[in-house]
């Protein structure tokens, strides 16, 4: 990292999963993400207020994530803040965790954090501040290159969910809801390590529950980011949004065998 960049951004969380979940080479990363976005079919409509997208390695879930991200393109010059919420895979804690860092970095560059929004969120009793919880986590990091290539200038509010219920998560999302300058991204994969036929049936059931805004129907087997999803569904019900499935596949469709697959769904949330 250049000294000037370090001075400009202060404390920067470096990429922890570059070279593992996605390419570490900036040119390769840019090319791969742009190709997935080009292959994704947008509908040319108004950009959704919120999306749900998966967080596995790009070879597996990248095309599904692109199906959600391509729909943000119409608002690339309007969106100035992304509230990014996902599950913690490595740390056990109560509530939600925001970072103390000033910026998150990827091989494509550095994204400033919205410190004012993080300060507001961390004033809520269910939100703690911890760089260590964020240090190795991939569930937020893998979304950043998509955001960097879809949007123009924006700031990030990264939040990891630990042991929290839908109201605790929903209250934080709602407090940061903002106007057209703000969009919410929830990070989650769906079923894990079932055979192809079983996973397909389970994921269809999960998709119906999400489209119906029925977080109470989601189980531990439904989605690894179920608490983050439930929080978004809590706000969607409160604010009168409708949810629409735009892509539903699994790793047996994108890469790998069909013996044990992981499910991926892309959803958009729009005014009712």
Query: Could you report the per-residue pLDDT of 174-233, keeping only the tens digit for each?
Result: 999 999 999 999 999 999 999 999 999 999 999 999 999 999 999 999 999 999 999 999
DSSP bridge pairs for 81: 155, 182
User: For residue 6, what pLDDT is reported?
Assistant: 44
pLDDT at 156 over 80: yes
Domain total of the chain: 1
* Banded pLDDT at 22 (limits 50, 70, 90): very high
Q: Is residue 14 over pLDDT 90?
A: yes
Query: How large a percentage of the chain has pLDDT more than 90?
Result: 93
Burial of residue 164, with CB atoms counted within 10 A of its CB: 0-12 exposed, 13-18 middle, 19 or more buried:
buried
Question: Which domain range does residue 58 map to?
Answer: 3-271
Task: Give the separation between CA 221 and CA 218, rounded to whole angstroms.
Answer: 8
pLDDT tens sequence across 42-93: 887 899 999 999 999 999 999 999 999 999 999 999 999 999 999 999 999 9
On average, the pLDDT of the chain sits at 95
The CATH number for 177's domain is 3.40.830.10
């Amino acid at each position: 990292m250049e000294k000037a960049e370090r001075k400009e951004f202060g404390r920067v969380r470096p990429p922890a999963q570059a070279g593992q979940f996605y390419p570490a080479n900036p040119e390769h990363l840019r090319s791969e993400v742009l190709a997935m976005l080009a292959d994704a079919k947008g509908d040319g409509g108004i950009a959704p207020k919120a999306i749900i997208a998966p967080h596995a390695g790009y070879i597996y879930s990248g095309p599904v994530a692109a199906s959600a991200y391509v729909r943000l393109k119409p608002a690339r010059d309007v969106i100035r803040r992304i509230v990014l919420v996902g599950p913690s895979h490595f740390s056990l804690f109560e509530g939600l965790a925001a970072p103390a860092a000033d910026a998150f970095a990827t091989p494509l560059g550095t994204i400033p954090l919205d410190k004012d929004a993080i300060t507001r969120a961390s004033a809520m009793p269910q939100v703690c501040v911890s760089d260590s919880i964020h240090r190795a986590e991939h569930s937020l990091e893998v979304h950043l290159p998509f955001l960097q290539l879809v949007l123009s200038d924006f700031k990030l509010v990264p939040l990891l969910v630990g042991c929290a219920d839908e109201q605790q998560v929903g209250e934080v999302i709602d407090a940061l809801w903002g106007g057209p300058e703000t969009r919410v991204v929830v990070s989650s994969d769906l079923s894990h390590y079932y055979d192809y036929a079983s996973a397909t049936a389970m994921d269809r059931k999960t998709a119906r529950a999400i489209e119906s805004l029925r977080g109470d129907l989601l189980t531990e087997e439904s989605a690894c980011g179920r608490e983050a999803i439930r929080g978004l569904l809590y706000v969607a019900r409160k604010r009168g949004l409708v949810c629409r499935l735009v892509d539903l596949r699994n790793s047996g469709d994108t890469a790998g065998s069909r013996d044990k697959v992981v499910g991926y769904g892309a959803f958009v949330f729009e005014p009712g």
